Amino acid sequence: MGAGQSTDYSGASPEELSHLLAERFATKCFTPLELTHFKDNFFSRAAEQGGLRYWNEQILSDFLGIPDGSFSSAGESSLDAGPVLFRMVSYLAAFPFQNTLAPSVLTFEAMVKVVVLLTERYGKVLRRGRKDRIKLLFGSLADVGRKHVEQHSEKGRKEDHSSAENTDEEPCPAKSHAAGFSIDEPANDEYDEDEDDDLALAALESLDAIDVFKHDHRVDKTVYETGISLDTFRRLIMLLLAIAPLKPLEHVKKYTSDMSPGRIEEIRKEADTIIAAFRPDESGGGITYRAFARTILTSLPYLFDPLTALFEHLLFSEKLNLSQKRQSETEPEVSRDDNTEGTERTGESPLVSKPILLPGSFESTILTPSALAHLSFFLSSNAKSMNLYRSGIRLHPVFSTAAHGSSLTSFSHNVLTWQSANVLLLQGAVVGKGEETVTIGAFIPQSWKSSSSHGSSSSSDALPCLFQLSPKHQVLPGNPSSSVHQQKNLPTAWFSTHTGLAIGCKIPPASRSQHLSPKPHGAASLTVDVNLESAELFLEPVGHEGVFLPAGNSSMEDASVKLRIDIYTLEVWGVVPDPELAASAEPSTSAVEAQRAQWDFEAREAERRRNINLKTGAGDSAKESARWLLETAGVIGDHGQYSGGST
C-alpha cells in the first residue's frame, strides 16, 4: 500500500476503519473453511433490527453454553458469568477504538475481531503478543466510571437485557466503559500510554490509516486508572476453573451444567485463592492494572487459556461437515503470536478430553477438579509453554501417605524408582494458625535420587517451581542460572533416610560422625521430616542464588515467611508426556514401564536373597527373620508378594 491509499482513509470514521480492519483480520487470521463455519454459526443465530444483524447477550451465552445465572434455593447463583463475558466481548469488539466505540454492537465484523483476540491469532495484530492481550483483557473487565462497583442483581440484569433488545442500542451493560474518575497514579505506574498507542497503531498499519488514529483517536488512559471489581473477577475465574479442560469441539455444558452446591463452593474457594494473588485493594478499589499485569505475566500465564477453546467453537458449525481438514497444504499459514501455541491446525480436534489423572494405586485427596484447573493456569511441563491440558500430559499416581504409609522406605521404593518429571503435593494445617489449611507443591523436572547420588538428575529443559495453591496462590519459579543447578550441594530435590526430604535446600558436606540437616537457601525452600508428618516452608522476598526465585508479585516490603505444617497428606504424581505432543522423542520404554521393571528386578533380588538364606539351613527362625527384613524394607508384602506399583 502506498501514500495514495493513506489519503483515501483521511476522512474515514472509526466505524469505517473498524469495519475495514475486521475484513483484514478475517482474511489473514482464518482459513477459508474456518470462515465458512464462522459465518454459518453467526448468521444462523443473529438477531436483526433495522437491517443490522447482531448477537445479544442471550444469543452469545446460549451458543457458548454459558450458564444463565439462575439462582438456587439458597439465593446464590451458580456460574453467573454470562454478563461478564458479554461485557468483555463488547469491549474487545471495538478494537482498536475502545475509547470511541466501546461497548460495541456485536456484528459479524465485531465478532471477527473478538475471536482473533481471544483465540490467540494475533501475531500480526499485537506487537507484544501476550503483553498487549493482557492490556485488552484488563480494559474489558475494568469498572471505569465508578470507584465502588455494586453487584448487579438478577432483576437489574434482566432489565438491561430486555431494554437492549427493544432499542437500536447495543444490548450490553452500556455504561460499564464510560469515561469516569481517575485514581492515584502510583497504583498503575506500569501503564505506558505510548505502548497502548502502539497497540492500536500495529492494527491500523495494514490499512495505512495511522495518521487518522494519531490525530483523532488516542487511547483513553482512564481505563487503566481504575480497577476490576472482585465480584466481576470472581465470576469470570469461576467460569475459567469450570471449563479449564475444555477442547474446541467439546460441549461447554459438560462442565457447567448440573453443578451441585458442593461443587460450586469448591470452585468459589479455589477462585478466592487465585484472587488473593492479585492483592486486591481492601478498601474496595478492586484489582489495579499493575497487580493484574504482573500477576498474570509472572504466576498465572495460562489463566485465560480456557477462553481460547471456548471461542474456537465459533469456527466449528455442527451443520457443516466437520470431517474435512481445517487447513490443507495449499491454504495460507494463519498468523499467530510467536510465543503461543494455538489449537490443532490440521485434522480434527478431539471430541472428548482424556482424564488427566491416570488410574493407579491410589486416588488423590488433593487434586480435585478445581485444583487441577488451578494447576493448569500456571504449570507447564515443557519448554513450549503449554498448560497441562494443552500439552496432553497425564499424571500417574506414584506415592501417597494415605495409601502407602508415612515411611521413607515406602517413599524410596515408589518415588526413587520413578525415572521422569514429577509433582509433589502436600496438604496440612499451619502450626499456630488455628485450623488454617495450606496446600503446597513443587514441580520437579527430574527423577529423585538418594543422598548418595547428590540429589536429582535431569536431561529436561523445563525449570522447577515451588508453589502454593491455598490459602493464597503463589508461584516461585525455578532459577534459570546454569551455575546454580551445576552445584552438587544445591539440588532441586534431595532424599535422605537420616534427614528426610529437601527441595531447594543447601546440602551440607557428608560426614561420618553426624548427619547434618539441609539448610534453606535462596528465595524458597521446603523440607519434610523423616516421618513424613511435618514440613517447613521458607520464603524470602529477595534472593537469586538458590534453586527458586522470589514470586513475581512479591516486593521488597514483604516479610520473610517460615511456616511449620502438620501434614495431612503427601502425594507424588509422575508426569507422563503425550507421545504425540512430546517436545522430543523419548525411548519407547515409558516411565511407568521402567518403574515396573525396577520393581520386578527388586522382587527377583529379594527372592534370590531369600533362597540363599534358606539354603544355609539356619532353620525357620532365619527364614522368618529374612522375610521380616524384606517386608520392613517394602520389597515384599505381608504375604510374600513384592509391594508397590499401580495397575
Give pLDDT, residue 285: 74
Residue with cell 467453537: 313
Q: What is the largest CA-CA distance in the chain?
A: 104
| pLDDT at residue 647 in the model | 33
CA end-to-end span of the chain: 63
| 107 vs 452, more confident | 107
Least confident stretch, 76-80, 280-284, 618-622: 618-622
Q: How far apart are CA 478 and CA 551, in angstroms?
A: 10
Say if CB 412 and CB 599 are below 8 A apart. Answer: no
**What is the model's pLDDT at position 183?**
29
Mean pLDDT of the 319-348 span: 44
Q: Give Cβ neighbours of residue 184 (< 8 Å, ≥ 6 apart).
A: none
Of residues 586 and 462, more confidence is placed in 462
- What's the mean pLDDT in 69-85? 66
Q: Calculate the alpha carbon distances from 224 to 75, 182, 192, 291, 409 in Å.
A: 34, 9, 10, 11, 55
Is the peptide bond between 359 and the residue preceding it cis, with omega within 30 degrees of 0?
Answer: no
According to the model, what pLDDT value does residue 406 have?
92
- Residue 121, Cβ density class (10 Å: 0-12 exposed, 13-18 middle, ≥19 buried): buried
**Among residues of the chain, what percentage have pLDDT more than 70?**
66
Residues of the chain above pLDDT 90, percent: 40
On the question of pLDDT at 460 being above 70, the answer is no
pLDDT score at 569: 97
What pTM value is reported for the model?
0.79
123 vs 507, which has greater pLDDT? 507
Which range has the worst mean pLDDT, 14-23, 115-124, 337-346, 399-408? 337-346
Task: Specify the pLDDT at position 328.
Answer: 43
The rounded distance, in Å, linking the Cα atoms of 377 and 386 is 10
Q: Given this model, what pLDDT does residue 204 score?
A: 53
What does the pLDDT read at residue 630? 61
**CB distance 29 to 219 below 8 Å:** no
Could you give the CA distance from residue 144 to residue 85 in angstroms, rounded to a whole number? 16
Task: Domain ranges for the chain, please list them.
Answer: 14-145+197-315, 380-587, 589-631
**For 568-587, what is the mean pLDDT?**
72
pLDDT for position 621? 64
Of 35-44, 77-86, 94-103, 575-584, give the lowest mean pLDDT range.
575-584
Given a contact cutoff of 8 angstroms between Cβ atoms, the answer to whether 394 and 354 are in contact is yes
For 224, residues 6+ apart whose C-beta sits below 8 A from its C-beta are 135, 138, 139, 142, 188, 191, 196, 289
Q: Using CA atoms, how far apart are residues 346 and 59, in angstroms rounded to an integer?
A: 29
Residue 454 has pLDDT above 90, yes or no: no
pLDDT winner (highest mean) among 20-34, 149-163, 311-325, 403-417: 403-417
- Contact between 443 and 421 under an 8 Å Cβ cutoff? The reply is yes
- pLDDT, one tens digit per residue, over 217-263 is 445 566 667 889 999 999 999 999 999 999 988 889 889 877 888 99
Cell numbers found for residue 586: 523419548
Query: Is residue 592 predicted with pLDDT exceeding 70?
Result: yes
Task: Supply the pLDDT for residue 476.
Answer: 94
Q: pLDDT tens digits, residue range 107-133?
A: 999 999 999 989 888 765 566 667 778
> Across the chain, what does the average pLDDT equal?
76
Burial class (CB in 10 A: 0-12, 13-18, 19+), 404: buried
**pLDDT band of 431, cuts 50, 70, 90:** very high
CA dist 492 → 327, 403, 457, 526, 548 (Å): 43, 26, 9, 10, 9
Of the pLDDT bands very low, low, confident and very high (cuts 50, 70, 90), residue 481 is confident
So what's the pLDDT on residue 165?
A: 45
Mean per-residue pLDDT, 374-384: 83
Q: Which of 55-64, 67-76, 133-142, 318-327 has the lowest mean pLDDT?
A: 67-76
Is residue 136 predicted with pLDDT exceeding 60? yes
HSE of 201, CA atoms in CB hemisphere, 13 A: 13
The top-scoring range by mean pLDDT among 118-132, 302-316, 348-362, 511-525 is 302-316
